[in-house]
């Protein structure tokens, strides 16, 4: 699919992977609506989520590429919010061709210590959010003759890890949901694929995973990420948001590619 003048919606677009993907799409000629959680509804996962200024900065960065943009606050776990977000995108931009379902959160705890509410919150954002966004976007994609859905999963959805049962299970569910959607929507010209980022030094790592791995392994906290990369990847280096964005562009452009899970992990996940 040619990306010039297409219209994209990116959830979790305030920073990190979401912003990188939004900017990559803009540079290819897309108008991009970016969405993230309202500051008034943040919290509950043990680390700071994106701010209002960051979401507005993402929209401004898209506009600096010469493309139209809109920032929309929405909680992807709430059907009414998702419908409002999608309607706002379509009304402002004139349609929808691409959905990047990127919003996600993480927590770390052994199963015996996992709080029920936190488990449910992980699945609400990471799985229900992807489902609700797809359901809201599909009629608009189909009405324009087809389009693309890219669900951001994780290499954690391919191999479960101790202490990350909720996160790994939720991302495995995203992969399975992607496969189901690909079969459902193939006849309508909508390709659906999952993107599995590997190891990127985001807040998820520095504030959640580093302390957990340090406690499990005895590696000094300030060396956890680097030691993990050295031990776990073929390329011996971390991935970058821009590399993940390049993979997202491929999945948006690619013809006759649907139902796949594309890992970008430097060899850290080869299944």
Q: What is the model's pLDDT at position 44?
A: 59
Q: Which fold has domain 7-198+240-262?
A: Rossmann fold (3.40.50)
118 or 207: which leads in pLDDT: 118
Delimit the domains of the chain by residue range. Answer: 7-198+240-262, 200-238
The residue annotated as part of the active site, out of 6, 158, 171, 199, is 171
For residue 71, give every residue at least 6 positions away whose Cβ sits within 8 Å of its Cβ, in sequence order, or none: 33, 34, 35, 55, 56, 58, 59
Residue with tokens 């189909």: 142
Judge whether 167 counts as a catalytic residue: yes
pTM assigned to the model? 0.95
Report the relative pairing of strands 261-264 and 7-11 from DSSP bridges: unpaired
The residue annotated as part of the active site, out of 6, 158, 167, 199, is 167
191 or 37: which leads in pLDDT: 191
Res. 50: pLDDT tops 80:
no
Judge whether 171 counts as a catalytic residue: yes
Alpha helices in the chain, H assignment, sequence order: 16-27, 52-64, 79-93, 116-123, 129-143, 165-185, 203, 210-217, 224-232, 241-253
- Render pLDDT for 18-33 as a digit per residue (tens, 0 to 9): 999 999 999 999 999 9
Res. 77: pLDDT tops 90:
yes
Q: What stretch of H or E contains 147?
A: strand 147-152
- Give me the mean pLDDT over the 146-173 stretch: 97
């Amino acid at each position: 699919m040619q990306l010039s003048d297409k219209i994209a919606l990116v959830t979790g677009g305030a920073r990190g992977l979401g912003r990188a993907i939004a900017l990559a799409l803009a540079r290819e000629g897309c108008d991009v609506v970016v969405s993230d959680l309202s500051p008034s509804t943040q919290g509950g996962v043990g680390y700071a989520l994106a701010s209002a200024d960051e979401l507005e900065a993402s929209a401004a960065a898209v506009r600096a590429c010469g493309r139209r943009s809109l920032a929309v606050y929405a909680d992807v776990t709430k059907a009414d919010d998702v419908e409002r977000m999608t309607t706002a995108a379509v009304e402002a931009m004139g349609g929808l061709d691409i959905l990047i379902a990127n919003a996600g959160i993480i927590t770390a705890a052994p199963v015996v210590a996992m709080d029920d509410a936190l488990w449910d919150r992980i699945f609400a954002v990471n799985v229900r959010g992807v489902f609700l966004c797809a359901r809201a976007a599909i009629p608009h994609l189909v009405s324009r003759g087809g389009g693309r859905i890219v669900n951001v999963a994780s290499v954690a959805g391919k191999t479960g890890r101790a202490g990350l049962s909720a996160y790994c299970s939720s991302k495995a569910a995203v992969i399975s949901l992607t496969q189901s959607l690909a079969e459902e929507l193939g006849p309508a010209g909508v390709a659906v694929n999952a993107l599995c980022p590997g190891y990127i030094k985001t807040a998820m790592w520095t504030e959640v995973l580093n302390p957990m791995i340090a406690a499990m392994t005895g590696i000094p906290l300030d060396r956890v990420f680097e030691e993990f990369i050295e031990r776990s990847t073929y390329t011996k280096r971390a991935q970058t948001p821009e590399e993940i964005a390049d993979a997202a562009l491929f999945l948006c452009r690619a013809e006759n590619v649907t139902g796949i899970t594309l890992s970008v992990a430097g060899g850290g996940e080869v299944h």
